[in-house]
Chain A
Amino acid sequence: MLLKEGEIRIPAGCAISGFISRDGNKMNGGDIVKSISYMHDRSNGLGGGFAGYGIYPEYKDYYAFHVFYDSNEAREKTERFLDRHFDVINLSRIPTKKVPSITNEPLIWRYFVNPLPTKIAASQLDEKEFVAKCVIRINNDIEGAYVFSSGKNMGVFKAVGFPEDVGEFYRLEEYEGYAWTAHGRYPTNTPGWWGGAHPFALLDYTIVHNGEISSYDANRRFIEMFGYKCTLLTDTEVITYIFDWLNRKQELSLEDIASIIAAPFWSEIDEIEKKGPQKAAKLRYFRNTMSSLLITGPFSIILGYTGGIMALNDRLKLRSMVVAEKKDIVYIASEECAIRAICPDCENVWSPKGGEPVIVTLSEEGKRKCL
């Protein structure tokens, strides 16, 4: 019997793509679908997905929950839970279109919600932590319900299928955002569960990832000490939790996070020491105290978050990843073709070195427009 995602660990190869307009100009979801479609052979039809930022300007102060339900019973249970903990501003089915290759779809709902202040106060948590805990609770405790997107003014759209079909299914050409990421999955067997597709999201963090990390269980067993529960057994899930813990809870910069999860080799730190002992001291400190968060094995990831995206390769650069620019837009993809597909005259095409983060954030103008 085939086991569902989360009951067994499934390695997967992948394609990733993403772009951001620094000035906060809205870009159509159709572009990201076109980009990822050019890497068709890097997926095998068993998972595709997208994350868009700035797509819900009219509801930008509310958490947007995207939820898969196996049944109406699961939906009713979840809605009762939401009513108890949140002020639900709006709810509806996410509009989709019938696509022949996308089958077995679950019920797909969207809620715009605000946590109840009394509940937050009673929980003694900050707002984001409260929301994250509620999401984890629904996913773990309500059979047949799975919240796959939970940030503000952003959304994840994913399914079992080729990414271009998934984009068509979700009618992404009807959305506009300042940043988009995409994922095409090549798992080594058939989980057949939509929740297992990527991006993986928690609050406004989304990760698309290509690779198979060899440090998985070391990372998982460490991060689970801090209240996370890795239920999907995927690399993407554990990487998202690591970012959430280091960035949201420990308040480390993305640069610092890169030097923890893709730490420089000791030989490189010795070189850095010659130039500046202070920086080397910090790197040594990270490698000493945060060593269980070092990620080894091949990966290229794009992290999406409110106001920016970050791309990172493993420190040996065992996965391809290129970056290009055009005006205020920065493109990142597994292969250059995926960038050329939507921006034939892109400039400054380069391959970031292993462990070298590429972080692109909204300009002041972009922030004014979008945040």
Chain B
Amino acid sequence: MPVNFFPAEFEVVRNSDRCIKCRACERQCSNEVHIYDADFDKMLSRDNQCVDCQRCVSICPVSALKIVPNENAFRKSANYSQQLMIENYRQAGSGGVLLSSMGNPQDYPVYWDKILINASQVTNPPIDPLREPMETKVFLGKKPAGIKKNPDGSIDTHTEPYLELNMPILFSAMSYGSISKNAHESLARAATELGTYYNTGEGGLHKDFYQYGKNTIVQVASGRFGVFKDYLDTGAAIEIKMGQGAKPGIGGHLPGAKIREDVSKTRMIPMGTDAISPAPHHDIYSIEDLRQLIFSLKEATEYKKPVIVKVAAVHNVAAIASGIARSGADIIAIDGFRGGTGAAPTRIRDNVGIPIELALAAVDQRLRDEGIRNEVSIIAAGSVRSSADAVKAIALGADAVYIGTPALLALGCHLCRSCHSGKCNWGIATQRPDLVKRLNPDVGYQRLVNLVNAWNHEIKEIMGGMGINSIEALRGNRLMLRGIGLSQKELDILGILHAGE
């Protein structure tokens, strides 16, 4: 008899008074948790297969279900948590690297929650966004260091290529393959309607979505999947992905099971083969190599598109960003260690990188100290969870923010962090046709539009409270922030005062 070293993480609680045995949960659960026992006319559960995605709870017509943490407890230790013990059991069983998905859930400080925002009282008036214009338009790209004049004395209004956003929010990179076609369609249509951008991630661009090219950022990552001339020409901007906040220093691995026909065509790799992106770009071993790739891409697109360089927030991110700013990039995207992922080694996700708040503050200040902040725009990514986080990011110095996880939440994701299994019951992180069709892009795109519009309303309200009526006056306006419960060192890095100062 096999010994089970650890219990199920969750317990399916079924109210048998309510349950009508319609078996909807059984049909909907791709993890095969729910089973019908005909002999006893009863619904049973395989708790150990449950990932707490909440799909069954959400669709149960009689609200008979709830998923709760298993209360069975190992002997308590402040050093060896139950989670750690289970992970060691699993590795002893499999011999493998632990895999996880979505953002780092560990108990590290969340600096957003230790920063408070200012408001006007008496000496200057708050502004009511319902009565006065409140502007959130943002331009991302390289800005000139000064005014240039034409020979006739008029001002030379030529600019480097840029992105124009109606609001300081973009959808961050999520590849086709890691997420479904319907999820991609929802993002593409939402970005188009909102007047912002979504990002293909490293998986190429499905031919059906070329029509949304004006609102698409096409990514060039170390695997170069799906990169060819039409792809580059179609996007509004090109993003070179050097790293990702959830897994700095390593590449990606999309299992062959997810490489079905369409994904295979889009990525330009054979069906069923694993799509492995290397840790480095093998043509970029140094900063001068990055410069060459930036200009190769610019040459290929006739200098008509801004180039974004995305890096993970690591310890010396400020110096790295300074190097990138001097290498011809138009925009730098910094991805914090809480950023999401479709799959990452658990130990890397949970232990590598630094918080976006600190990285962003350090980069913005460094670029200003060097007088080159104008050379690039900054997009902050890696756990911007709400409009308040976005406001704080902009006040710290970001031009705009990438959101990934909130967009997935809008599509139904419940953060079960099991994307790497490919069995997403919400039709998001899966390529199984029966699951993908659960996500209706007509509904999905509308929910994304709603979410971002709601955030933008809130951003306007918060700005109005500060007496600011245009987003550019908020950018880098750190005097509008105060820290709460932070050490002097943390305050110094964030460049803000403590509450009460």
Q: A11-B124, A298-B125 are in contact. Are A217 and B478 (CB under 8 A)?
A: yes
Q: Which of B63-71, B313-321, B426-434, B469-477 contacts A (4 or more CB under 8 A)?
A: B469-477
Are A288 and B467 in touch, CB under 8 angstroms?
no
Interface centre among B143, B466, B478, B479 (most CB of A within 10 A): B479
- A250 contacts partner chain B, Cβ-Cβ < 8 Å: yes
Q: Which residues of B contact A217 (CB under 8 A)?
A: 476-480
Inter-chain contacts of B125 with A (CB < 8 A)? 298, 318
Q: Given known contacts A222-B476, A266-B135, A298-B124, is B147 in contact with A214 (CB within 8 Å)?
A: no
Q: What is the distance, in angstroms, from B357's C-beta to the closest C-beta of chain A?
A: 17
Asked whether any CB of chain B lies closer than 8 Å to the CB of A28, the reply is no
A282 at the interface (CB under 8 A from B): yes
Asked if A288 and B159 sit within 8 Å, CB to CB, the answer is: yes
Contacts A13-B123, A214-B468 given; does A251 touch B474 at CB 8 Å: no
A107 proximal to B (CB < 8 A): no
Q: Does A291 contact B (CB under 8 A)?
A: yes
Q: How far is the CB of B312 from chain A (nearest CB, A)?
A: 25
CB of B469 to closest CB in A, whole Å: 5
Q: Which residues of A contact B120 (CB under 8 A)?
A: 214, 297
* Cβ-defined contact, A296 with B139, below 8 A: no
Least Cβ–Cβ distance between B395 and chain A, in angstroms? 8
CA distance A177 to B473 in the complex (A): 37
Distance of A219 Cα from B479 Cα, bound (Å)? 11
A84 at the interface (CB under 8 A from B): no
Q: Are A9 and B479 in contact (CB under 8 A)?
A: yes
B462-495 near A? 1/0 per residue, CB < 8 Å? 0000111110111111111000000000000000
A61, CB-defined interface residue at 8 Å: no
Chain B at the A interface: mostly helix, strand, loop or mixed? Answer: loop
Q: A318 contacts which chain B residues (CB < 8 A)?
A: 124-125
- Chain A residues in 8 Å Cβ range of B124: 11, 211-214, 297-298, 318
Provided the pairs A214-B467, A216-B477, A288-B159 are in contact, do residues A225 and B368 lie with their beta carbons within 8 angstroms? yes
Chain A CB within 8 A of B374 CB: yes
Cβ–Cβ contact A296 & B468, under 8 A: yes
Interface size on A, residues (CB 8 A): 47
User: Chain A contacts of B469 at CB under 8 A?
Assistant: 296, 315-316
Given A281-B157, A297-B124, A297-B467, do A215 and B473 touch, yes or no (CB 8 Å)? Answer: yes
A345–B292 CA distance with the chains assembled, in angstroms: 71
| CA distance in complex: A210, B123 (Å) | 11
Contact of A291 among B123, B127, B139, B466 (CB under 8 A): B139
Closest B residue to A219 using CB positions = B473
A267 at the interface (CB under 8 A from B): yes
Q: How far is the CA of A290 from the CA of B144 in the complex (A)?
A: 9
Alpha-carbon distance A251/B146, docked complex (angstroms): 10
A295 within 8 A of B: yes
Asked if B132 lies at the interface with its beta carbon under 8 angstroms from chain A, I say yes
- Minimum CB–CB distance from B14 to chain A (whole Å) comes to 55
A285 at the interface (CB under 8 A from B): yes
A contacts, CB < 8 Å to B:
9, 11-13, 188, 211-219, 221-222, 224-226, 246, 249-252, 256, 263, 265-267, 281-282, 284-285, 287-292, 294-298, 315-316, 318
The 6 closest A-B pairs by CB, nearest first: A215-B473, A291-B472, A217-B479, A214-B467, A285-B157, A212-B124
